[in-house]
Amino acid sequence: MGEIMPHWLAKQAELKPDEIAIQEGEGRVWTFAQLDKASRQFAFGLLSEGVQAKDKIAILSGNCTDFIIAVHAASYTGAVVVLINTRLSESEIAYQLKDADVSIVLADEENAQVTKEHAWRKELRTLLLTEINKKKKTKLALVEEVDLDTGFTIMYTSGTTGAPKAVMHTYGNHLWSAMGSMLNLGLREDDKWLAVLPMFHIGGLSIYFKSAIYGMPIYMLKKFDEAAVLEAIMKRDVTIMSAVSVMMRRLLDELGNNCVPKSFRCMLLGGGPAPRSLLQASKEREIPIFQSYGMTETSSQIVTLAPGNALKKLGSSGKTLFPAQLKIDKPDAKGEGEIIVKGPMVVNGYYNNDEATSKAFTTDGWLHTGDIGRLDEDGSLYVLDRRKDLIISGGENVYPAEIENVLLNFEGVHEAGVIGIKNAKWGEVPAAFIVSDQVDTNTIKSNCKKYLASYKCPQYIWLVDALPRNASGKLLRNKLSLWAAEKLE
């Protein structure tokens, strides 16, 4: 048994009943008391549907307040929430629902048909988020305390190869993530966090846990729309936002030469290091960018770089949050090796998957991230690439991400994906797929020579309309390898 504390939302309903929990960009405002009441009613609905503690309930929905209510309601019943990426294919969804032993799917109108029409599992029921009988009376009691060692959510890692693995977060993992973030960013009375990332990903969901733990209002947008986001930042007193690089680019275009208000104090950027051009443009517009590194297994960011160091330590993700530790495992002569992390926000393992667990986790709590990195003399982390994507050319380590970042800094290059190609002389050589409105690949090749050592320069550059990505937007390098094989036939 872990530490016991009051149910988070119940506690905020006690401490700050009339303060704002969620401000829908498009609609109503929810106070903590209102959100708590709706979550309790939803929980009674779940209980009357036969949901019991430790049952697995899936949510298959776009961003909406009912999504969050369903999550809090599940915790009031003691059930575990399985968060499904709505962009997945039917067979991928079927796999996850089966693997996680899900009994009920809660879906929005748009996504309900996927699991309703296809009877690949008879005992599985799909209910609309809006149809849970919220008024059915039951004598069953709600769970008013949370045990930090108890499982709360399951998310599948969007593996770019192999079967997805179920990451089970405990209440403690989510709480420690929120604490670590607070110790890093501070917490102010006027804080309001803009949430626009998908709720089925850890980066999106964790914002709502921060709301329930800090007693902080969320400004919620269902989808990313640069105009709506900018309006929130400029006019709605938003102080913090979580984003990924592609959002930042669109936001900077929309912003033009304007600066953001001084009260906007943090743009928490995930999804890989940002290129210099983006950091420079952000600096000029007084957007304080906090680059970060994290993954589903670390319950959101675990390493963060303060804005003051953004350009000084270009490409770095910074240092680990207060409760966390990080080491480079088996570093080579240059200090490069696998990044391993530890801390109370790191999950204990994968659900129903001892093999994957024992492969990734040591007995004393270290997670092997599968990423290659190094630390500078100051202890700041530089993430180099996924270990399995490493290209070894003439005995030199070549990181696709490094080459991609250089390519992305070129005028007219919108997307870039780099892989290794077998080569008789060098073992492997780099090859690049790019999405660009600049059709002259020779110019790009000669530009590469200015910024990259010769063994890092792509030997092949192919223009394509789009890069292959998975449902989470992650580049599928194994697909690029197939494309390259076709090109070279």
The region of 81-89, 111-119, 292-300, 338-346 touching a second copy under the rule CB under 8 A is 338-346
**Rounded to the nearest whole angstrom, what is the least distance from the CB of residue 196 to a second copy in the complex?**
24
Q: Which of 4, 29, 392, 453 binds a second copy (CB under 8 A)?
A: 4
DSSP string, 335-383: S-EEEEEESTTS-S-BTT-HHHHHHHB-TTS-EEEEEEEEE-TT--EEE
Beta carbon of residue 15, minimum distance to a second copy (angstroms, whole number):
6
Could you tell me the smallest distance in angstroms from the CB atom of residue 346 to a second copy?
A: 10
Q: If binding is defined by CB under 8 A, does position 179 make contact with a second copy?
A: yes
Q: Is 215 in the site for a second copy (CB under 8 A)?
A: yes
User: How far is CA 1 from its chain centroid?
Assistant: 29
**Is residue 120 within the footprint of a second copy (CB under 8 A)?**
no
Per-position x/- string for 352-371, each x denoting binding to a second copy as judged by CB under 8 A, each - no binding:
-------------x------
Interface residue with a second copy among 169, 313, 342, 374 (CB under 8 A) is: 342
Rounded least distance, CB 361 to a second copy, Å: 14
**Under DSSP, is residue 452 helix (H, G, I), strand (E, B) or coil?**
coil
Residues 363-422 that bind a second copy (CB under 8 A): 365, 379
Does residue 189 interact with a second copy by CB under 8 A? Answer: yes
- Please state the closest distance from residue 368 (CB atom) to a second copy, in A: 17
440 binds a second copy (CB under 8 A): no
- Asked if residue 335 binds a second copy (CB under 8 A), the reply is no
CA–CA distances in Å: residue 444 to residues 408, 409, 416, 434, 437 = 11, 11, 12, 10, 12
Encoded amino acid at 33, one letter: A
- Parallel, antiparallel, or unpaired for β 337-342 and 367-375? antiparallel
Q: Residue 181 burial by CB count (10 A; 0-12/13-18/19+): exposed, middle or buried? A: buried
DSSP 323: T
In contact, 170 and 347? CB cutoff 8 Å: yes
Query: Which pair of tokens denotes residue 424?
Result: 């008789």
Closer of 14 and 90 to a second copy (Cβ): 14
d(CA 15, CA 21): 12
The interface region with a second copy, picked from 4-12, 253-261, 274-282, 465-473 by CB under 8 A, is: 4-12
Q: Is 159 in the site for a second copy (CB under 8 A)?
A: no
Least CB distance to a second copy at residue 150 (A): 14
Q: How far apart are the first and last CA of the chain?
A: 59
Q: What residues have CB less than 8 Å from 118, skipping those under 6 apart?
A: 90, 94
Give yes or no for residue 11 binding a second copy (CB under 8 A): yes
The Cα 41–Cα 54 span in angstroms is 19
Query: Is 447 within 8 Å of 410 (Cβ atoms)?
Result: yes
Encoded tokens for 488:
């070279």
- Structure tokens belonging to residue 143: 């769970």
| Residue 5 in the binding site for a second copy (CB under 8 A) | yes
Count interface residues toward a second copy (CB under 8 A).
30
- For the record, the structure tokens of 314 come out as 């270009």
Decide: is 457 part of the binding site for a second copy (CB under 8 A).
no
With CB under 8 A as the contact rule, the residue among 183, 259, 392, 488 that binds a second copy is 183
- The distance of closest approach from Cβ of residue 133 to a second copy in the complex, given in angstroms and rounded to an integer, is 30
Q: Does 19 help bind a second copy (rule: CB under 8 A)?
A: no
How many Cβ atoms are within 10 Å of 199's Cβ, its own excluded? 25
Residues near 183 by beta carbon (within 8 Å), at least 6 away in sequence? 321, 322, 323
Give the one residue of 134, 201, 313, 319 binding a second copy; rule: CB under 8 A: 319
Regarding 343 and contact with a second copy (CB under 8 A), the answer is yes
The least CB distance from residue 2 to a second copy, in Å, is 8
Least spacing, CB of residue 187 vs a second copy, in Å:
5
Strands, sheet with 151-156, edge to edge from the N-terminal-most edge strand: 125-128, 102-107, 56-60, 80-83, 151-156, 166-170
Q: Is 16 or 479 the residue whose CB approaches a second copy more closely?
A: 16
> Is the Cβ of residue 189 or residue 354 nearer to a second copy in the bound state?
189
| Binding map of a second copy across residues 273-312, x = CB under 8 A, - = no contact | ----------------------------------------
Q: Which is nearer to a second copy, 5 or 471 (CB)?
A: 5
CA 179 to chain centre: 18
Q: Angle at which helices 171-185 and 202-214 pack, to 10 degrees?
A: 80
Please report, as ranges, the residues that interact with a second copy according to CB under 8 A.
3-6, 11, 14-15, 145, 172, 176, 179, 182-183, 186-189, 213-215, 319, 322-325, 342-344, 365, 379
